[in-house]
Structure 1
């Protein structure tokens, strides 16, 4: 029985090309520059490139809005204690869909595209990015499993200029 799913051939071919020059085999998986980044899933963001990093330098966690939610906190705690993370950057971005729309507006868009009522799905809209990043940074700094020695900063990434603005 053939278990291949049609529609991924281009990506599998790209992966074979990537594997021909793959150089990270045997990598130990720690963050060699001691960095963890929480940022948005937005495809305009290159987390390593925007910080001058390369594969192996940092742990990257992405979700809508770049929030420090329960799962992101879990990743940060594991990073700090098991993967040599000693600096954490929380980086939402400009023109983010979850920060520039109300939950009602996003649901209206989803309803129109899906043809079903999506009001049951919480979308975690952000009403004030600067306040939210300060809250998330405080949440990390105050967590009992994140030592005071870990540096935690909050930034806003501008998707039009590529620049970071330090918020806290």
Structure 2
């Protein structure tokens, strides 16, 4: 018995009707989505997209960190992305807790000091969203022709609201 048998069985069922063979890796809808790793978010589904339409970048809080910004540059120049959505969400743990609270919870769970670990906390989700959108727009390798928007996804209603 393998710890992953259930997932491997599900994968076999998925592969039995696999319809995406031969895709080229380009974002066919020209979209990149930066969002949180929260499992309540279905990035493609919430925008009516399907596999092959968008590049999805996920991290705690849906923040635009250095690695995310590098990935967006690659997406714009090599994968035909011309629209970028930055999408944090309601009831997000990193947006609704202080670093101190998150650090205490993480330390307790890990059983050790985690002060060396970077936590993507915010001093306010609205302010962080504006800063993240501006950071993408200001990058010298992301041309002005690329549209960048900031949105908040409501995990209780499924609605997306543009904020920036």
CA distance in 2, matches of 1:111, 1:68: 25
CA distance in 2, matches of 1:126, 1:60: 21
2:73 pairs, out of 67, 70, 77, with 77
1:24 pairs, out of 5, 20, 43, with 20
Deviations 1:89-127 (A, max 9, x none): 000001111111111111111222222122222212112
CA distance in 1, matches of 2:153, 2:49: 16
1:160 pairs, out of 150, 156, 164, with 156
Deviations 1:29-74 (A, max 9, x none): 1000000000000000000000010001100000011011111111
TM-score, scaled relative to structure 1: 0.94
Q: How many residues align?
A: 164
Partner of 1:91: 87
> Any unmatched runs of 5+ in structure 1?
none
CA distance in 1, matches of 2:76, 2:33: 12
Partner of 1:117: 113
Partner of 1:39: 35
Q: What is the DSSP-based 3-state SS (H/G/I as helix, E as strand, rest coil) of the residue aligned with 1:60?
A: strand
CA distance in 2, matches of 1:121, 1:70: 15
1:61 pairs, out of 57, 65, 75, with 57
Q: What is the DSSP-based 3-state SS (H/G/I as helix, E as strand, rest coil) of the residue aligned with 1:121?
A: coil
State the shift of 1:164 in Å: 1.0
Q: 1:127-146 to 2 correspondence within 5 Å?
A: 127-146=123-142
Once superposed, what is the RMSD of the aligned Cα atoms? 1.1
Deviations 1:132-160 (A, max 9, x none): 11111111111110111110000011111
Partner of 1:105: 101
1:11 pairs, out of 7, 10, 14, with 7
Q: After TM superposition, what 4+ stretches of structure 1 lie above 2 angstroms from structure 2?
A: none
Which deviates more, 29-38 or 119-128? Answer: 119-128
TM-score, scaled relative to structure 2: 0.97
State the shift of 1:15 in Å: 0.5
